[in-house]
Amino acid sequence: MNTPFFIAKRLIRTDGRAESSNISGTRPIVRIAIAGIALGLAVMIVSMAIVTGFQKEITDKVVNFGADIIITDYSNLNAIEPQPVSKEQDFYPSLTEIDGIRHIQVFATKAGIVKTDEEIEGVVVKGVGSDFDWSFFQRHLIDGQVFETTDSSRSKNILISESISKKLKLNVGDRMEVFFIQEERQRARVFDVTGIYKTGLAEYDERYVITDITHIQRLNGWSSDQVAGFEVFVDDFGDLDELEDVVYHSIGNDLYSATVKDLQPQIFDWLDLQDMNVRVIIILMLVVAGFTHDFCFAHLVIERVYNDSEL
């Protein structure tokens, strides 16, 4: 026998002994209690869903714009002008054979200045190679298309953000001149805007443009097998710390690895604070639902005792 259902049925039943009292008092109170508890549960479920979805969306954007794990020289972490690292490594690209690691790709960055007839803007030029995974930018393109890079030729195409596009009044098909200051010399490169993206993260949208890594290699005087580092992507973000330990022991002593949580602690600390908001909402809703339940139960018991005493 379902004991809770039996007790509930006994409490709210309507019979000939107290029919008028039950109809006028018990049923409205029960409905109010049910509505209050249902509303509290709905608010808790919606709150958790919104915060969880928000955290996942921000995490996906931060990770996919950079990577889950960065492998580079010790001096290159968070550096815009990094030192070169050889691409000829034992773990590249065989690192993807490790269970849980989805992709590995090379990258390089360099600070530049974009100048038009009316505006000037500082940017970080991120160079990518033929192994670059474009799926993230394809999902966030608002105009144009991504470009392909090959190891045998150099592409003059460039991907910019909507924020930079509006500031500099550049559209798909326009030419963009980027100036680089190096060894007290000014060097310029002209690129063709092939696509415009928008991630919604101002920290990235206002700074980064994407182009072929060979431009940065030539500007820095690097050879074709020199890069700033490697970006590693995992299948499950929940396994990040465990996989980072595996990666760390796979790359040798000359290089260093760090997770996106190590490189962007302020973002992930802020996301963790959202969990506190959910806890507060859940506690408040539990208090309200508990008070409603106790009040309804006490009212039903008192009413039943009062009705039975009149008989």
DSSP class per residue in 157-218 = EEEEEHHHHHHHT--TT-EEEEEEEETTEEEEEEEEEEEEE--S-HHHHTTEEEEEHHHHHH
Same domain assignment for residues 196 and 254? yes
Strands 208-212 and 120-128: parallel
Same domain assignment for residues 96 and 112? yes
Axis-axis angle for helices 27-65, 265-310 (nearest 10): 170
Distances (CA, A) of 193 to 34, 61, 141: 59, 22, 13
Using 70 as the pLDDT threshold, list the residues of the chain that sit under it: 1, 4, 7-27, 29-30, 77-80, 293, 297, 299-301, 303-311
Q: What is the dihedral of CA 177, 192, 146, 211, to 10 degrees?
A: -40
Cα–Cα nearest to 71, from 250, 305, 271 = 250
Same domain assignment for residues 277 and 152? no
Same domain assignment for residues 258 and 274? no
Same domain assignment for residues 89 and 148? yes
- Contact criterion met (CB below 8 Å) for 146 and 195: yes
Q: What is the pLDDT of residues 105-115, one digit of tens each?
A: 999 999 999 98
The CB density around residue 231, as the number of other CB atoms within 10 Å, is: 24
In a domain, 258, yes or no: yes
pLDDT at 27: 63
Same domain assignment for residues 272 and 141? no
Residue pointed to by tokens 């065989």: 94
Same domain assignment for residues 122 and 40? no
The span from the CA of 93 to the CA of 89, in Å, is: 8
The span from the CA of 184 to the CA of 175, in Å, is: 25
In a domain, 6, yes or no: no
Same domain assignment for residues 259 and 293? no
pLDDT at 23: 46
The token pair that represents 35 in the structure block: 């509505």
pTM reported for the whole predicted model = 0.74
- Contact criterion met (CB below 8 Å) for 82 and 108: yes
Same domain assignment for residues 125 and 242? yes
Distances (CA, A) of 174 to 76, 133, 142, 170, 194: 33, 25, 16, 6, 8
The span from the CA of 239 to the CA of 232, in Å, is: 13
Q: Which of 232, 247, 263 is the last residue of a domain?
A: 263
In a domain, 286, yes or no: yes
Most distant CA pair in the chain: distance in Å? 103
Same domain assignment for residues 97 and 210? yes
Same domain assignment for residues 229 and 286? no
pLDDT at 127: 94
Question: What one-character DSSP code corresponds to residue 308?
Answer: H
Of all helices (H) and strands (E), which one includes residue 44?
Answer: helix 27-65
Residue type, 51: V
Same domain assignment for residues 53 and 200? no
Q: What is the pLDDT of residues 170-225, one digit of tens each?
A: 999 999 999 998 777 788 899 999 999 998 888 889 899 999 999 999 999 899 89
How many structural domains comprise the chain?
A: 2
In a domain, 95, yes or no: yes
In a domain, 9, yes or no: no
pLDDT at 20: 47
**HSE on the CB side for 281, CA within 13 Å?**
18
In a domain, 289, yes or no: yes
The domain in which residue 198 lies consists of: 68-263
Distances (CA, A) of 282 to 42, 44, 188, 253, 290: 11, 6, 56, 47, 12
